[in-house]
Amino acid sequence: MISIKSLQKVFQSSSGNVQAVDDVSLDIEKGEIFGVIGYSGAGKSTFIRLLNRLEDPTSGEIVIDDNDISKLRGKGLRKARQEIGMIYQHFNLLWSRTVKENIGFPLEIANVPKQEREQRVNELVDLVGLSGRENAYPSQLSGGQKQRVGIARALANKPKVLLCDEATSALDPETTDSILDLLTDINKKLGLTIILITHEMHVIRKISNRVAVMEEGRVVEQGDVLDVFRNPQQKVTKRFVEQVMGDRDQDDSLQEILTHYDSGHILKLHFVGEKTNQAVISEVAKQYDISINILQGKITQTQKGAYGTLVVHLTGEESVIQEAIQYISATSVKVEVNPDAS
């Protein structure tokens, strides 16, 4: 669906060149929700603006449905942009227009006949859950409702791709979840490819199928969200996973907990997917003559399944403990024995 090869963007200034996007290559499948995460200055917002040519690439290719939009100009570019919707952090609504008029604005520009335009707008009002608010003005709407208008407007021309640039950053957590649920629903109903730019791992965790991590203009890590949660490779990725899993706080408290245990073994267990629902600890307690004390645990859900960690303390005969550890390891649960929490 989308193939990005060796994409680069260099901004020129009086103080020298700034490499905002540096040799980024990605393949994004049709109908998936693909997340791009990075801290401020990572280049992610410039990257997404390159995808709909709000910024011109310095070099590289952006191919969408076999159409290299990086080479388009004039009428061809305008037509390609109609197939790429975009929603923004601060909504970018026309304050003098109603909900319906905001949603219908792209259709006006495209010279869609009035009757067809009104039918499409009514469909979108219903799709984004704004029935009864279609004649309200932006100043009369909540933040979440404004973003729903922005989403409906982005869908007006029936795009193949929806770009979301920090679409939930201005919203409270509850409203963020409702907007993410809406995007997931739209993705399923319309088969729309969604590219989501954010600095919040919670957003990636909740709805993305795959994720690319950006730092200093480059993609430093990418993969299935569940795999990235389970085994982050880069320092920046580990920081993002900590946002959701609370690993740093857990490690601090675990370090304190460990000072109270000078015998037995501490195990840190990593559960992935269906294994989070397995009663591994209960089975171990039944089969082996050891004592098990649960010290700490956390489970989080992703689109591809659950990921969780559990810290337990085992006491008993050393040989029996080792048998129990082997049993747990054989279930494909990743086991760290006497983990270093420092």
pLDDT at 276 exceeding the cut of 80: no
pLDDT at 342 exceeding the cut of 50: no
Determine contact, residues 295/265, Cβ cutoff 8 Å: no
Strand partners for 11: 18
Closest listed residue to residue 205, CA positions, set 214, 196, 218, 216: 196
The CATH 3.30.70.260 portion of the chain extends over 246-337
pTM: 0.80
In one-letter notation, the amino acid at residue 87 is I
Give the model's pLDDT for residue 194: 97
In sequence order, what are the residues at sequence separation of 6 or more whose Cβ sits closer than 8 angstroms to the Cβ of residue 223?
Answer: 210, 211
Distance CA 59, CA 273 (A): 40
280-331 pLDDT, tens digit per residue, is 888 888 899 999 988 887 777 777 667 777 888 899 999 999 999 989 888 8
Give the model's pLDDT for residue 188: 93
Residue 137 has which token pair? 């003005």
Say which CATH class 2-238 falls into. Answer: alpha beta
Task: Provide the pLDDT confidence category of residue 1 given band limits of 50, 70 and 90.
Answer: confident
214-257 pLDDT, tens digit per residue, is 999 999 999 999 888 878 899 999 888 887 766 554 555 556 66
The CATH 3.40.50.300 portion of the chain extends over 2-238
Domain spanning 246-337: CATH superfamily: ACT domain (3.30.70.260)
pLDDT above 90 covers a percentage of the chain that reads 60
Segment holding 221, helix H or strand E: strand 218-224
